[in-house]
Structure 1
Amino acid sequence: MALRAKMAQHLNGCSVACKVSWGDLQALCRRAKVVCKELEVTKNNFNDYEVEYITNYRKKNGKELFLVKWKGYHDSENTWEPRKNLKCPKLLKQFWRDVDTALQKQKKPRHPAELDHKTAAYVVQKARHRQRLSCWEAHLNKTCRQEGRIFVQNEVDMDGPPRDFTYINDYRVGEGVELGTTAAGCRCEDCFAHPVKGCCPGSSGHRPAYNDRSQVRVRPGLPIYECNARCGCGPDCPNRVVQRGIRYDLCIFKTDNGRGWGVRTLERICKNAFVMEYVGEIITTEEAEKRGEAYDRQGATYLFDLDYVDDVFTVDAAHYGNISHFVNHSCNPNLQVYNVFIDNLDERLPRIAFFATRSIRAGEELTFDYKMQTDPVDAESTKMDMSLAALETPSKKRIRVECKCGYESCRKYLFSCGQ
């Protein structure tokens, strides 16, 4: 009894996330005739049923019938319903898109009187696949700390959420890596209009990186110093841009030309605006060398060297990362890399931020150059020439990875043997 009491005391206040969705809980309550105020289930809506997805179709005596999978009910309880009973135009539209896709793959005529077994099976498989992606989307938005939402879309194949990948918001510190402490902050009353001794950038010997619209104005290759946790300014300070996180709605989508997953923006992004950080696990170059050899054999890698001053650490976003994990390469990218320093001023451990190189339309894919170089216009920018060879392992034994960016002046290969 004493042990139970002790365990209960330790568990006091603990909670476990429910694995059943809100809609499924509502359906279960209605089915069991249980009133639940929190779930908005009352005696008046016990007999309300929600269509989860449509699984089949047939036309009999000129009457269209749809086989419906009801939310909260087993597949064995699916029922055939006439169109007039279905108040789900989006699901009906999606059902017919899936049917058309299946018929096109089989080279069969459209508008059949009934679906063959293969087509019906594809429709069900696609509906369940879409549900998995929807659950992953919900998990991403629950996990990420950002203003913009993340959407997920795959209308190309049946690939679901990537295995062995954990979404993180900040660097994950690996073995042998220690983050420094925050230096003294600024004492400006207005960091933009009246910076004291140049604010945080000035104390590091640099000028402010942003204009009054939060757009980067220093040339690529120069570092960015933002206000930190010890500064007297608040969260709305104009010198706090990267640390506010992603502010745009973005979509992880499956590309249709063999480039895997990609990321597109769902909102217009202005030129020089901050878009996202490259986040992952910080590891030593020795560990990166070991992992790089394995990644090379797979023909893909997520290693980003942090060699602003010394080639000591690398960011590995293969298994731990944020949405930047899914951003593809382009020989004509719309994102540019900058090294950013905020709370940690150790020049060996900058934060990697992506800013828009031009105005980016809503619906356009976001890309950066995995072998990006900066023009050596001064001593500072030459420090970053090699650090922007993103996603390239420290190993000199390269394999040839074909570039599929589609740009007219494409370099054809991301990496070359002996490079």
Structure 2
Amino acid sequence: MILCVLLRRFYCQIPPTMIISLSETQVCRVACIATEGQLEVICREQGVKCDELGINKHNLCDYEVEYLCDYKKKVITDGKRQTIQELYLVKWKGYPESSNTWEPRRNLKCIDLLNQFWEDLNAEMQRQKKRAAPRRLDPATVSQLIQRAKLRQTLKQWETHLNGLGTHKGHIYVRNQVDLEGPPKNFTYINDYKVGDGIMLNEVSVGCECTDCLGNPVEGCCAGASQHKFAYNELGQVRIRPGLPIYECNKRCHCGIDCPNRVVQRGIQYSLCIFKTDNGRGWGVKTMERIRKNTFVMEYVGEIITTEEADCRGHIYDKEGATYLFDLDYVDDEYTVDAAHYGNISHFVNHSCDPNLQVYNVFIDNLDERLPRIAFFATRGIKAGEELTFDYKMKIDPVDAESTKMDSNFSLTGLPGSPKKRMRVECKCEVPTCRKYLF
């Protein structure tokens, strides 16, 4: 049996193929870097069982539709009677494309794949300004359908990978109905800050002794210890104005994870979708469910670097036409978060001059005011399917009073910290109050 699990991502400094013995007389050559799909094809071609890939004697010869490649109508004559038969070219899961076969519609039980095929085909016909699909598809259309089917598989694998890394309740979906762009290259998904060279995060040494942090806080709980007010109400909604810091309970506190003063640290609670926009703004993020006003949505995480390093990287990013540099200048402009190559779902959130997300500085296990965590809260109720946005150029007037009404409108202008930009970038948010330029 091939030890396929060792070959899924096997990097080594040896020739480009590896010889694996299947028996005393049979040899199989496998690339040192091979995907599970490629290994599955090899196993089925060679008739080899592999527990790691779920290939056993019971399903070695099974056929499962992976995706549909092509479509045609065939006229069948039976005496004087003529009928039209619909045929689909099927790519079988775990088999090479040379094993594709034409199958009549009645043989296919994959309703979801059939619906997806016709959704893709109708979209392609619309793009080509054709009213309906012809009896036989041209090679260019077939190629487009195959590429889209393969892209959907790639995005699904990435989606599974992202959710496997998550430690939060919310599920992340990935969709691209616009073009054939796949997951971003040279990007690593992380859930917490990646600390750059020479930067230290000092862990908190004390915590609160409250038994009820909201109802009966001892000496004002963690916020009171830092001369600030409790940030949340009983529903976990933020009740202080933008510009004021949030101090949550930390690992030294006596309270548990269900404490009402542990909101940001519980992570994303809503199902969100990374999707490709259709107006040239690249990837974006939308919510798959309703989000209540003033509730936590996500953090902005990335690599923490010095301002000097950020300036150097900024010039490089300028040439590429984009940057993800976010100043941590709550008290001093010493550090910056760079989410270009390390980040979470916030990496894909677009700008709007009228955003539905507001930024807050949050302190939990690290109380260094130069290194706050950046959290996004909803400025209003957000409907399911609505895109999430924040203002890349955020300004706010100083505030010294806590909001007393949970239904009062928060400022949509944000915090002093903002993603660094040096280029005059045209804004595409298309809201009535658009400033026309991001920076």
Alpha-carbon distance in structure 2 between the residues aligned to 1:37 and 1:350: 43
**TM-score, normalisation: structure 1:** 0.88
Alpha-carbon distance in structure 2 between the residues aligned to 1:147 and 1:200: 25
Alpha-carbon distance in structure 1 between the residues aligned to 2:36 and 2:173: 18
What is the Cα deviation at residue 230 of structure 1? 0.6
Residue 120 of structure 2 contacts residue 145 of structure 2 at CA under 8 Å; is this kept in 1?
Answer: yes
Structure-2 residue corresponding to 1:204: 226
The 1:176/1:102 distance shift into structure 2, 3 A limit, reads same
Alpha-carbon distance in structure 1 between the residues aligned to 2:416 and 2:307: 15
SS at match of 1:402: coil
What is the Cα deviation at residue 335 of structure 1? 0.3
Q: Cα RMSD between the aligned structures?
A: 2.6
Which residue type is aligned with residue 60 of structure 1? Answer: K
Instruction: Give the unaligned 5+ runs of structure 2.
Output: 10-33, 76-83, 404-412
Structure-2 residue corresponding to 1:410: 434
Structure-1 residue corresponding to 2:47: 32
Which residue type is aligned with residue 99 of structure 2? Answer: E
Alpha-carbon distance in structure 2 between the residues aligned to 1:34 and 1:298: 47
Q: Which of the numbers 404, 416, 425 marks the counterpart of 1:388?
A: 416
Structure 1 residues 177-200: Cα deviation after superposition (integer angstroms, max 9, x where no partner)? 111121300111111111111110
The 1:76/1:213 distance shift into structure 2, 3 A limit, reads same
Residue 52 of structure 1 contacts residue 71 of structure 1 at CA under 8 Å; is this kept in 2?
Answer: yes
Q: Which of the numbers 251, 254, 265 marks the counterpart of 2:287?
A: 265
Residue 24 of structure 1 contacts residue 71 of structure 1 at CA under 8 Å; is this kept in 2?
Answer: no
Residue 241 of structure 2 contacts residue 402 of structure 2 at CA under 8 Å; is this kept in 1?
Answer: no
> 1:3-402 residue pairs with structure 2 within 5 A?
32=47, 34=49, 39=54, 43=58, 48-61=62-75, 62-378=84-400, 388-393=416-421, 398-402=422-426
What is the Cα deviation at residue 380 of structure 1? 11
Alpha-carbon distance in structure 1 between the residues aligned to 2:293 and 2:359: 14
Residue 287 of structure 2 contacts residue 388 of structure 2 at CA under 8 Å; is this kept in 1?
Answer: yes
Residue 401 of structure 1 contacts residue 414 of structure 1 at CA under 8 Å; is this kept in 2?
Answer: yes
Alpha-carbon distance in structure 2 between the residues aligned to 1:16 and 1:268: 43
**TM-score, normalisation: structure 2:** 0.84
Alpha-carbon distance in structure 1 between the residues aligned to 2:290 and 2:327: 30
Structure 1 residues 10-33: Cα deviation after superposition (integer angstroms, max 9, x where no partner)? xxxx98867755998599579938
Structure 1 residues 128-147: Cα deviation after superposition (integer angstroms, max 9, x where no partner)? 11111111111111122211
Residue 337 of structure 1 contacts residue 388 of structure 1 at CA under 8 Å; is this kept in 2?
Answer: no
Residue 29 of structure 1 contacts residue 41 of structure 1 at CA under 8 Å; is this kept in 2?
Answer: no
Alpha-carbon distance in structure 2 between the residues aligned to 1:16 and 1:115: 38
Structure 1 residues 206-246: Cα deviation after superposition (integer angstroms, max 9, x where no partner)? 11100000110011110000011111111111110000111
The 1:135/1:322 distance shift into structure 2, 3 A limit, reads same
Structure 1 residues 299-338: Cα deviation after superposition (integer angstroms, max 9, x where no partner)? 2210110011111101010110000000000011000000
The 1:267/1:323 distance shift into structure 2, 3 A limit, reads same
The 1:26/1:414 distance shift into structure 2, 3 A limit, reads same
Structure 1 residues 20-73: Cα deviation after superposition (integer angstroms, max 9, x where no partner)? 559985995799385969949564x56542100000111111111111000000
Alpha-carbon distance in structure 2 between the residues aligned to 1:377 and 1:279: 26
Which residue type is aligned with residue 275 of structure 2? Answer: F
SS at match of 1:187: coil
The 1:64/1:351 distance shift into structure 2, 3 A limit, reads same
Residue 305 of structure 2 contacts residue 338 of structure 2 at CA under 8 Å; is this kept in 1?
Answer: yes
Alpha-carbon distance in structure 1 between the residues aligned to 2:53 and 2:179: 38
Alpha-carbon distance in structure 1 between the residues aligned to 2:175 and 2:145: 16
Instruction: Give the unaligned 5+ runs of structure 1.
Output: 1-13
Q: How many residues align?
A: 394
Alpha-carbon distance in structure 2 between the residues aligned to 1:37 and 1:379: 59
SS at match of 2:438: strand
Residue 40 of structure 2 contacts residue 95 of structure 2 at CA under 8 Å; is this kept in 1?
Answer: no
What is the Cα deviation at residue 252 of structure 1? 0.3
The 1:31/1:266 distance shift into structure 2, 3 A limit, reads farther
What is the Cα deviation at residue 125 of structure 1? 1.0
Residue 182 of structure 1 contacts residue 344 of structure 1 at CA under 8 Å; is this kept in 2?
Answer: yes
Give the % identical residues.
Answer: 63
Structure 1 residues 257-307: Cα deviation after superposition (integer angstroms, max 9, x where no partner)? 000000000011100000000000001111111111222232221011001
Residue 269 of structure 1 contacts residue 360 of structure 1 at CA under 8 Å; is this kept in 2?
Answer: yes
Q: Which moved more, 1:296-305 or 1:260-269?
A: 296-305
SS at match of 1:413: coil
Alpha-carbon distance in structure 2 between the residues aligned to 1:35 and 1:301: 45
The 1:16/1:202 distance shift into structure 2, 3 A limit, reads farther
Alpha-carbon distance in structure 2 between the residues aligned to 1:30 and 1:77: 10
Q: Which moved more, 1:263-272 or 1:369-378?
A: 369-378
Which residue type is aligned with residue 59 of structure 1? Answer: K
Which residue type is aligned with residue 157 of structure 1? Answer: D
Residue 305 of structure 1 contacts residue 387 of structure 1 at CA under 8 Å; is this kept in 2?
Answer: no
